[in-house]
């Protein structure tokens, strides 16, 4: 069955009916984004692969854990990847397993996807551009703490130690940064009303 024109919500509904081809379509649509995020966070291709597989298996086993009241499917999917990666980062810090260091530069220093797949939907690329633009608009010191929290999974105190800043300052910057992002993304139609 050709799902190339089927909306995400409908694909998830098909998955809930046991349609593996629908899950495959969602995979084709978003795996590169998911793998990119996982690799950025954990830095290890094998671990990233496992994280992505687990998340898609989770979509398969529990498709009803997503509904369109939670916003766009891709946003929800990426949040699963993010949280799973944080689990891995913290597990790694506990066990002190030496793996490759994840990329620690600003995400804004990375290029846009230079070679988008034909399967990548235009609106996904547009959303990526919108989020990137929002991130560029917030003050650099807020963006810095957000990136340390989001992409490296650091806690308040870890960020404070990392930057040599007071804990309260870190907390404030995170709060202001997230508030700004929410305010910037809402008019873009990226957040549920």
Partner 1 sequence: MDNSNAVPEEWEAKLIDYTLGVMEPGDAASFEASLEECRKHVQFARQYSEVVGWLGAVVPPQEPPSGHKNRLMSRLASTPQTELTASSMRAETPASQPTLRVLPSLPAQEPYAGATAERTAQPATMTDIEAYREKRTNTGLLAALGAVAAAVILLVGFWGWNAQNDKQRAEQQVAQLQSQLNTLASRPNVPPGYKALSLPPQPNYSGVNALVLYNPGTTDAVFFANGLPQLPANQVYELWLLKAQGNPDKGGVFTADPTGSATHPTTSPQTLAQYTGFAVTIEPSPGVDVATGPAVVVGTYATP
Subset of residues 33 to 92 that bind partner 1, contact rule: CB under 8 A: 33, 35-37, 39-40, 45, 48-49, 52-53, 56-58, 60-67, 69-72, 74-84, 86-87, 90-91
How far, in Å, CA of 8 to CA of 126, rounded? 16
Q: Is 22 in the site for partner 1 (CB under 8 A)?
A: no
The minimum distance between CB 5 and partner 1, in angstroms, equals: 20
Is 104 a binding residue for partner 1 by CB under 8 A? The answer is no
With a CB cutoff of 8 Å and minimum separation 6, the contacts of 143 are 106, 108, 135, 136, 177
Measure the CA–CA gap between 144 and 137, rounded to whole angstroms.
Answer: 12
Residues touching partner 1, count (CB under 8 A): 90
Q: Between residue 134 and residue 173, which ones bind partner 1 under the rule CB under 8 A?
A: 135, 146, 149-151, 153-157, 159, 171
CB nearer to partner 1: pick between 6 and 191: 191
Tell me how far CA of residue 24 lies from CA of 14, 21, 123, in angstroms: 11, 5, 20
């Amino acid at each position: 069955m050709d799902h190339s024109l089927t909306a995400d919500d409908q694909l998830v509904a098909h998955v809930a009916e046991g349609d593996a081809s629908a899950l495959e379509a969602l995979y084709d649509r978003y795996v590169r984004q998911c793998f990119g995020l996982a690799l950025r966070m954990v830095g290890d291709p094998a671990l990233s692969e496992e994280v992505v597989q687990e998340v898609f298996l989770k979509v398969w086993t529990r498709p009803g854990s997503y509904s369109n009241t939670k916003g766009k499917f891709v946003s929800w999917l990426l949040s699963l990847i993010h949280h799973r990666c944080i689990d891995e980062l913290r597990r790694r810090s506990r066990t002190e397993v030496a793996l490759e260091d994840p990329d620690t530069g600003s995400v804004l220093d990375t290029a846009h996807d230079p070679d988008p797949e034909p399967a990548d939907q235009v609106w996904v690329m547009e959303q990526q551009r919108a989020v990137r633009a929002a991130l560029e608009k917030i003050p650099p010191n807020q963006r810095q703490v957000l990136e340390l929290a989001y992409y490296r999974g650091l806690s308040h105190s870890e960020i404070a130690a990392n930057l040599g800043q007071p804990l309260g300052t870190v907390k404030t910057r995170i709060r202001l940064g997230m508030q700004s992002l929410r305010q910037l993304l809402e008019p873009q139609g990226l957040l549920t009303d």
